[in-house]
């Protein structure tokens, strides 16, 4: 499921952009405009966004290795993504409600890595859920979100900045899941090594 998130996001904005008139510029125009009321075939990006939000919520439910605050933030990010689809941009101008919900989603998706980290024995937790990598991920994502906010205010390369921020946020759940799966064999090997001598004594 975590692998579906970046595929849905990138695939959605790529296909939807191809369906727009030549005036659409992916470097300047936002992803939200692809699902706006004035967009051609807006259902493409809308469907992709719904799938993306569901992916985030389902990953949060299944990622038991992550701490609860991070999982709740991931649910918040997924829920905001779903709500944004119900608050499309108007044909002309912007929407305060759309912008507010989108901002909550971006921030939640940027902060959840740090909130998901745990204090545990060094060898018993996925590296992506350790404090230092998780904190680095949150700082990097917040910087990308900040760049997007600046790009929106300056009307320069807003589309590029949004794609960088949203794409990175969609990739991190996959990184965490892959990290968690890679840790399982290590834990099993550690447990087997600890139980091994006891097995020999019982023979």
pLDDT reading at 203 higher than 70? no
| 121-163 confidence digits (pLDDT tens) | 555 678 899 999 999 999 999 999 999 999 999 988 999 999 9
User: What residue ranges do the domains of the chain occupy?
Assistant: 4-182
Tokens representing 109 are 């998706």
Phi, psi (degrees; rounded to nearest 5) at 119? -95, 120
**Which one-letter DSSP state was computed for residue 89?**
P
CA distances from 142 to 69, 98, 166 (A): 17, 20, 11
Residue 201 has pLDDT above 50, yes or no: no
pLDDT tens digits for range 156-194: 899 999 999 999 999 999 999 999 888 754 444 443 443
Whole-number pLDDT of residue 92: 85
* 111 three-state secondary structure: helix
Taking residues 103-113, report their average pLDDT.
97
- What crossing angle do the helices spanning 96-116 and 158-202 adopt, rounded to 10°? 30
Mean of the per-residue pLDDT values of the chain: 87
């Amino acid at each position: 499921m975590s692998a579906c998130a970046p595929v849905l996001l990138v695939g959605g904005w790529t296909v939807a952009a191809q369906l727009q008139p030549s005036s659409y510029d992916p470097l300047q125009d936002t992803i939200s405009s692809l699902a706006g009321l004035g967009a051609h075939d807006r259902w493409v990006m809308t469907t992709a966004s719904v799938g993306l939000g569901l992916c985030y919520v389902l990953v949060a439910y299944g990622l038991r290795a992550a701490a609860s605050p991070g999982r709740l933030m991931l649910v918040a990010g997924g829920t905001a993504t779903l709500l944004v689809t119900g608050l499309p941009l108007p044909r002309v101008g912007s929407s305060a409600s759309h912008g507010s919900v989108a901002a909550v989603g971006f921030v939640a998706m940027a902060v959840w890595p740090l909130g998901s980290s745990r204090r545990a024995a060094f060898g018993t937790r996925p590296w992506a859920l350790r404090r230092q990598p998780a904190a680095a991920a949150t700082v990097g994502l917040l910087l990308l979100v900040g760049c997007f906010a600046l790009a929106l205010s300056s009307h320069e390369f807003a589309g590029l900045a949004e794609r960088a921020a949203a794409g990175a946020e969609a990739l991190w759940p996959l990184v965490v899941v892959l990290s968690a799966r890679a840790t399982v064999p290590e834990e099993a090997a550690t447990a087997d090594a600890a139980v091994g001598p006891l097995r020999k004594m019982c023979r």
